[in-house]
Amino acid sequence: MSGASPSGAIIHVGFAHTGTTSLQQNIYSKRSDIFYAGIPYSDLGGIFSNIKYHDHEHYDAPNTSRLCNELIFNKMRSVQRLVLSDETFVDQPAIYYTPAMMPIRVIAERLRAQFGRSTVLFTLRSQYSSVISNYLVLRNNYERLANRKIEPFDAWFAGNLTQVRNLFLRNLDPSHAIDVYRNVFGADAVQVLPLEFISQQGVKAYLDHLSRISGFEFSSAEIRGYVARNASPPHDIVLDNRQRAVIRRRSSAGNALVAKLFNLPLRDLGYPFPD
C-alpha cells in the first residue's frame, strides 16, 4: 500500500448515471476535510489509466505506487480523508473511442493494493432510468467528441443485447460488480446508496444516508445548496413493454439480492424486481 488517510479512503466506484457528478461537484470537491483525487484525468490520469486499462504485462505497480505517493499521499493534510470517485472503475467510459477496460476484479485488486483498507461506495439507480441516461450521454458524447451520430435508442438497445457481454449495459445486474468488491475489500467495506432517495425522501435524507456511510457530517448549507446535476439532455424516449421486460429479466434478481444484503427498499423505489 502506498499510504493511508486518517480513516481509510472512500472509493466511490460507480455505477455510471447514478448521481456521481452531483456528489463530485457538491461534496467531494468543496470540503476542506476531503482530499478529492478529482475526476481522474490530468495529473492523476497516469494512476487511474494504469489501474483501469493496462493488462498484466504492461501494468507497472511500483510506478503507480510512486505516482500515488507523489500526487496524492504527499499532498494530503493530516486532517483530510482521501476520496476517489470514478464510475469507470466498473462501467465503460461513455465515449466513442472507448479504451478496453480490465475485468472489474483486476481493477478492484489494484485499488486495494494501492489504497489499502477503504470504504467502497456504490451509488445506484433504477435500470429503467439508467439505461436511457446511458444512451443519451453516449449520443451527446459521440456528437460532441467524435463528430459522429449514434443510432436511435431502439436499435442501440437491441444491438447491445445481441452480445453475451457488451460494453455499455454490462452492469444491468448490479450484484456482480458489488460482489467482486465485497470479495476484494471485505463485505463490511462495501456500501450502496440509491439515487432515488433524493426524489422520494429529499436531499437531507440522501445525505443522512451518505453521512452514515462516510462519517462526514453535512451542514444545513450543504443540504440547501445541493444541486442535482443531470447529464442527460431532454428527450422523448419511453421504454416499451418488451424493453422493460428485458431489463427486468436481467436486473431483477440482482436488485433483490442487493436490497436484501444492504437492507434497501429498492422495490418501493421503483427498481425492477422479481414477482
For 185, the grid coordinates are: 475489500
pLDDT at 31: 94
Q: What are the two backbone dihedrals, phi and then psi, of residue 85, each rounded to the nearest 5 degrees? A: -145, 115
Task: Specify the pTM.
Answer: 0.93
- Please compute, for residue 89, the number of CA atoms within 13 A of its CA located in the half-sphere on the CB side: 28
Q: At what angle do helices 61-71 and 104-115 cross, to 10 degrees?
A: 50
Phi, psi of 251 (to 5 degrees): -115, -20
Q: Is 194 helix (H, G, I), strand (E, B) or coil?
A: strand
* Domain range summary for the chain, segments of one domain joined by +: 9-262
User: Cα–Cα distance between 65 and 67 in angstroms, integer?
Assistant: 5
Beta-bridge partner residues of 124: 194
Count Cβ atoms within 10 A of the Cβ of residue 237 and give its class: 0-12 exposed, 13-18 middle, 19 or more buried.
middle
Please state, in angstroms and rounded to a whole number, the distance separating the CA atoms of residues 67 and 81: 18
Q: Which CATH number applies to 9-262?
A: 3.40.50.300
236: how many CB neighbours lie within 10 A of its CB? 5
Q: How far apart are CA 40 and CA 47, in angstroms?
A: 8
Q: Please name the residue that has the C-alpha cell 489501474.
A: 51
Kindly state the DSSP code that residue 12 receives in the 8-state scheme: E
Distance in Å from the first CA to the final CA of the chain: 45
Among candidates 161, 92, 130, which has minimal Cα distance to 269? 130
Distance (Å, whole) CA 157 – CA 132: 9
Q: Nearest Cα to 182, choosing from 108, 88, 251? A: 108
What is the residue-level pLDDT of the chain in tens, covering all 275 positions? 444 444 699 999 999 999 999 999 999 999 999 999 876 556 787 899 899 999 999 999 999 999 999 999 999 999 999 999 999 999 999 888 888 899 999 999 999 999 999 999 999 999 999 999 999 999 999 999 999 999 999 999 999 888 877 888 999 999 999 999 999 999 999 999 999 999 999 999 999 999 999 999 999 999 999 987 766 667 889 999 999 999 999 999 999 999 999 999 999 999 999 98
